[in-house]
Amino acid sequence: RKEVEQDPGPFNVPEGATVAFNCTYSNSASQSFFWYRQDCRKEPKLLMSVYSSGNEDGRFTAQLNRASQYISLLIRDSKLSDSATYLCVVNPGGGAQKLVFGQGTRLTINP
Amino acid sequence: GAVVSQHPSRVICKSGTSVKIECRSLDFQATTMFWYRQFPKKSLMLMATSNEGSKATYEQGVEKDKFLINHASLTLSTLTVTSAHPEDSSFYICSARTVTDTQYFGPGTRLTVL
């Protein structure tokens, strides 16, 4: 089983739609969780951290369910510029503070 | 956010040559940097953790003699791909960790070995 699993997509949705991504992780001791965004042939950029209480940043809402080892990202009122690959990222703990990446979910917003 | 640079951004080399990639944290000091590799349509895979002033920690399956890492200062880590072969062609990305444990990524180096 992969440490971090995501539906690779692709997701194709019209502009203005709401889209949701899910992610599961295998290590119950994982300490911190993130969503990164990666554009084609570019480096990943931090979109938001994910907290147990859930957190929102503008049109983006992230939630964490530690009991189910499940992370989600919701994008409301999607824009063309939201087209990218969204990476679910987990810090499994331990002193090195490594990050483990999911394979990413490809999203295309259509006009 | 914090800025991390990588150089070169793109390199094409002949099989058997060595290639050095630099990763710099421009506006903060990073005691820990990470080196990743990403093949097309695949996820980033951590290769090694680079610690300032000590030996790098390599992930399982990554040859330390093939991928030499040096982290000589708090703002610079280098990755040298020795005797590169076509199968080493990939997108190499570094990241630097801040004191708040956030990782910022460099823009990546696209290596093509002919």
Query: Are the beta carbons of B91 and A41 separated by less than 8 Å?
Result: yes
Residue B37 in contact with residue B59, Cβ under 8 Å? no
Strands (E), B1-114: 4-7, 10-13, 19-25, 32-38, 45-51, 57-58, 67-73, 76-81, 90-97, 103-105, 109-113
Mean pLDDT by runs of 10 across the 114 residues of chain B is: 89 96 92 91 89 89 94 92 96 90 90 96
Nearest Cβ partner for A44 among B42, B44, B102:
B44
Among all residues of chain B, which has the CA nearest to that of A43?
B107
A79: pLDDT strictly greater than 90: yes
A95: pLDDT strictly greater than 80: no
Can you give the pLDDT at residue B103? 85
Mean pLDDT for A61-85 is 96
A59: pLDDT strictly greater than 70: yes
Can you give the pLDDT at residue A96? 63
Among all residues of chain A, which has the CA nearest to that of B99?
A97
Can you give the pLDDT at residue B1? 63
Which of A35-39, A66-70, B39-43, B63-67 has the least mean pLDDT?
Answer: B39-43
Q: What b/e sequence results for A12-26 when a residue is b if at least 16 CB atoms lie within 10 Å of its CB, and e otherwise? A: ebeeeeebebebbbe
For residue A42, the number of C-alpha atoms closer than 13 Å in the C-beta half-sphere is 12
Can you give the pLDDT at residue A109? 97
